[in-house]
Amino acid sequence: MMYRREHNVLIAQEGNTTVYIQPWGANALRVQMTKEQQLDSNTWALSEPAAGTELSPGTELSPGTELPVSAQMPSITIQEISFSQPWLKHYPEAQKNIERAYIASITNGKITASFNHEGWLTFTNDKDEVLLKEFWRNRSRIDRYCIPLNLSGRELKPVKGSSDWELTARFEAFEDEKIFGLGQYQDEFLNKKGLVLDLCQKNSQSSVPFMLSSRGYGFLWNNPAIGRVNFANNITEWYAQSTKKMDYWVTAGDTPQQIMEQYTSVTGRTPPLPSFASGFWQCKLRYKNQEEVLSVAREYKRRNLPLSVIVIDFFHWTMQGDFEFDPVDWPDPASMVKELEEMGIILMVSVWPTIDERSKNFGIMAQNGHLVRFERGSGVHMSWMGNTVFFDATHPEARKFVWETCKKNYGQYGIKHYWLDEAEPEYGIYDFDQFRYAVGPALQVSNIYPQYFAKAFFEGQSSSGQTDILNLVRCAWAGSQKYGALVWSGDIHSSFRAMREQLQAGLNMGLAGIPWWTTDIGGFLGGDIHDPEFQELIIRWFQWGAFCPVMRLHGERPPFEDLGDQEYRGQVRQMPSGQANEVWSFGDRAYEIMQKFLLLREKLRPYIHTLMEESHIKGSPVMRTMFYEFPDDDKCWNCTDQYMLGSKILVAPVMEKEIGKRKVYLPKTNSTDTWTHLFTGEKFKAGQTIEEVCPLETLPVYYQGENPLV
């Protein structure tokens, strides 16, 4: 392996393989590898200006040009080493093959990447502690005749018949390591160590490939390709089925907070949260006409219940891809929006990226290349309620067309906020090798689709002068947060199992840089409102929802009403509606409890906005793992069923059926020796595990310091 320095970049080369390492923000390094003559220029998630990124590999400077200060930051060393060790005399043939050997390193603040004499990387912090290191079990460069397992730390294998590459990056596994983040997966594991995760977007799964390690580093797999990551006990392995290069980013930090701040500084942070968003959101599948929406809103006001947002779900339109109200059921949207605004309620409407082949926009979008293409054959992407194809959100003109159409057909009525559903996109069959986007084949880029979908509306809203930007999106990738994406956890089941899974999903989304997050309270799939078991579930979920970043009630609630033929509109049958899904719909006892927590949420709103401001400024999660706030407390690294809402409130949601009590760990704090129960005012000594009785009317919530509700 030969090394050289170009400006602030350490370059390692062997044959046709080149590795580039350069500073990319505070205490961070970006590592890229290619087998092409020209390095692919995509920055993907690393889109924000960062110190050290001014000079890309291959940049040529005129003689006398002064480098930017930030480009001079790294310490780069290249050193020739001697192989005169006594044991080499036993390998005379190997010694003849070695003319020179080198080691090299690059340091940026708290992190150093070092190539050993074999050319493999180790990352250390400013205390010279190993953070991570490449896994290699292949031939030695010292003994060219020794070929053991022949596993290398990084490899690009050509995809036959193409100019693309199959990528594998391997790292040593550490027994004591805990791994968090990675986005949203439907399992019960907060700690992802020991798991295999698919790197692909699906309904209820958001692959956001940033991990935070208990060893003191953060790692971004900066690649939107379809693949997987394996956090096995014997190896950590990142894999992309088809790509142009290897690209990852590593940062070192003394605390999880520092790591998150450094990560979000290079991928982006949320805009300021609009004031309405911290209140209560009402939704169901589905409000089928204008009068139904208004009657629900009027009933909330009649009962003096706070309501900030009401959402109109899918199939309010004439056709998928028309992006407009059906005039039969929605005869006067302007008056509807006006009346809701007078009640202090924001209206949000659902937008799907599906374009029905019968839509008035299908022909022009197909002609202009605005639809996701097929690699072979022809057909449809989804055949639910019509044969549809997804619009290509990676295409700038397609994004502009969809936004301009929505602005015309919804914006004219004063609607400014959108529910961007099906954002994965949800292909009927996830055969990613079948599809191609403007920015490349789906195998290489599909994971970035939800980010571009959010970007389409963020760009349009910004260009229209809108400042209170927030859109509800069903999926995300690294960087989605900067486009005002409020992500929810998709079409999950109405069960305590699913509820438990959402807790770790929300916490890991926050650690992946996505702080605006919510669930369908009560779950989406199922939930008979007259069933006592479901009533218990939705009470517990509603209580937890009051302490989530955004509080939103939604669900399909079968059985659906029978509408006979009255819902036919020519060739399109609009969706029927499930049962009622308002807070008074689940029985008197449930209503009394839900009303209590709805009013509590109103008192929490000022505190929620202080946390959202932290997210905007520092990239901090709103829902925080216990170790995020108390990293020096070993017990907090193992707390999986409780969390911190910001730095003051500890929430221990009840997520088991018919449970009478549960244990809660109250960590030692720097500000006080006690925790105070939010509902009873009882004080508890910090640094102990307590067992609390939790009847259906309440749940364990504690605060440290001053009461955040006052």
Q: What is the CATH number of the domain that holds 109?
A: 2.60.40.1760
Which candidate in 322, 421, 426, 556 is catalytic?
421
Stretch 534-563: mean pLDDT, rounded? 96
- Phi first, then psi, for residue 238 (nearest 5°) are -105, 140
Provide the token pair at 613. 């401001």
Query: What pLDDT, in 10s, does the model give residues 511-527?
Result: 999 999 999 999 999 99
515 with 634, same domain: the answer is no
Q: Are residues 344 and 249 in the same domain?
A: no
The Cα–Cα gap between 689 and 665 comes to 4
The identity of residue 265, as a single letter, is: S
In a domain? residue 179: yes
Residues 205, 687: Cα–Cα separation, whole Å: 36
Mean pLDDT of 321-330: 96
Of 237, 392, 424, 520, the active-site residue reads 424
What average pLDDT does this structure show over 579-587?
A: 98
If you average pLDDT over residues 318-335, what whole number do you get? Answer: 96
pLDDT band (50, 70, 90) for residue 571? low
pLDDT at position 672 is 76
Q: Span 117-144, mean pLDDT?
A: 86
Q: What are phi and psi of 196, to 5 degrees?
A: -110, 125
Q: Which residue type does 352 have?
A: W
- Total domains present in the chain: 3
Q: For residue 386, is it within any domain?
A: yes
Q: What is the pLDDT of residue 428?
A: 87
Residues 184, 305 within the same domain: no
- What is the predicted pLDDT for the residue at 52? 82
Question: Region 682-695: what's the mean pLDDT?
Answer: 97
Is 328 strand, coil or helix?
coil
In percent, the amount of the chain with pLDDT more than 70 equals 92
Judged against a pLDDT cut of 60, whether residue 88 lies above it is answered with: no
pLDDT, residue 566, reads 58
Domain boundary among 603, 618, 633: 618
pLDDT at 80 over 90: no
Is the pLDDT assigned to residue 44 strictly greater than 80? yes
pLDDT of residue 147: 59
Domain match, 390 and 518 both: yes
The pLDDT score that the predictor gives to residue 572 is 60
Write the pLDDT tens digit of every residue in 585-635: 999 999 999 999 999 999 999 999 999 999 999 999 999 999 999 999 999
Q: Look at residues 618, 648, 663 and tell me which one is the last residue of a structural domain.
A: 618
What pLDDT shows up at residue 118?
87
pLDDT band at 376 (very low <50, low <70, confident <90, very high): confident
460/599 same-domain check: yes
Same domain, 455 and 421: yes
Residues 587 and 638 occupy one common structural domain: no
Say yes or no: 144 and 251 in one domain: yes
User: Can you give the pTM of this predicted structure?
Assistant: 0.95
Please enumerate in sequence order all residues whose Cβ is within 8 A of that of 636, keeping only pairs 6 or more positions apart, or say none: 625, 626, 627, 629, 630, 665, 667
- Token digits for 217? 């580093």
CATH number of the domain within which 674 lies: 2.60.40.1180
Query: Which pLDDT belongs to residue 483?
Result: 98
291 found inside a domain: yes
Whether residue 641 is contained in a domain is answered as: yes
**Tokens of residue 339, six digits:** 């009346």
Least confident of 495-499, 580-584, 668-672: 668-672
Residue 199 lies in a domain: yes
Find the catalytic residue in 155, 491, 528, 567.
491
Residue 709 lies in a domain: no
Whether residues 239 and 308 share a domain: the answer is no
* Residues 296, 238 share a domain: no
Percentage of residues of the chain with pLDDT beyond 90? 85
CB 385 within 8 A of CB 300: no
Question: Which of 240, 267, 294 is the last residue before a domain boundary?
Answer: 267
**Do 562 and 533 fall into the same domain?**
yes
Helix (H) or strand (E) holding 258, with range, is helix 256-267
pLDDT at 380: 85
pLDDT at 545: 98
The pLDDT, as a whole number, for residue 520 is: 98
Asked, for residue 356, whether it belongs to a domain, the answer is: yes
Give pLDDT tens digits for 428-485: 889 999 999 999 999 999 999 999 999 999 999 999 999 999 999 999 999 999 999 9
- C-alpha torsion sign, points 146, 147, 152, 157: positive
What rounded mean pLDDT belongs to the chain? 93
Q: Is the pLDDT of residue 564 over 90?
A: no
**Rounded to an integer, what distance in angstroms lies between the CA atom of residue 693 and that of residue 662?**
7
Active site residue 357: no
Per the annotation, the verdict on 491 as an active-site residue is yes
CATH number of the domain at 406, please.
3.20.20.80
| Vertex 278: Cα angle to 277 and 279 (nearest 5) | 90
* Phi and psi, residue 176, nearest 5°: -90, 0
Categorise residue 583: left if φ over 0, alpha if ψ from -120 to 50, beta otherwise.
alpha
| pLDDT 10s digits, 50-76 | 888 876 676 655 555 555 555 556 899
Residue 182 has pLDDT above 80, yes or no: yes
Q: Is residue 590 within 8 Å of residue 539, measured between CB atoms?
A: yes
- When pLDDT is averaged across residues 137-160 and rounded to a whole number, the result is 76
> What's the average model confidence in pLDDT over 329-358?
97
Q: Which positions ≥6 away from 63 have C-beta within 8 Å? A: none
pLDDT per residue as tens digits for the range 184-237: 999 999 999 999 999 999 999 999 999 999 999 999 999 999 999 999 999 999
Q: Is residue 708 part of a domain?
A: no
Q: How far apart are CA 439 and CA 396, in angstroms?
A: 10
Q: In the annotation, is 392 catalytic?
A: no
551 and 281 in contact (C-beta within 8 Å)? yes
What range defines the domain where residue 666 resides?
Answer: 625-703
Indicate the residue type of 378: S
Quick one: 554 and 446 in the same domain? yes
Reported confidence tier of residue 97, pLDDT bands at 50, 70, 90:
low
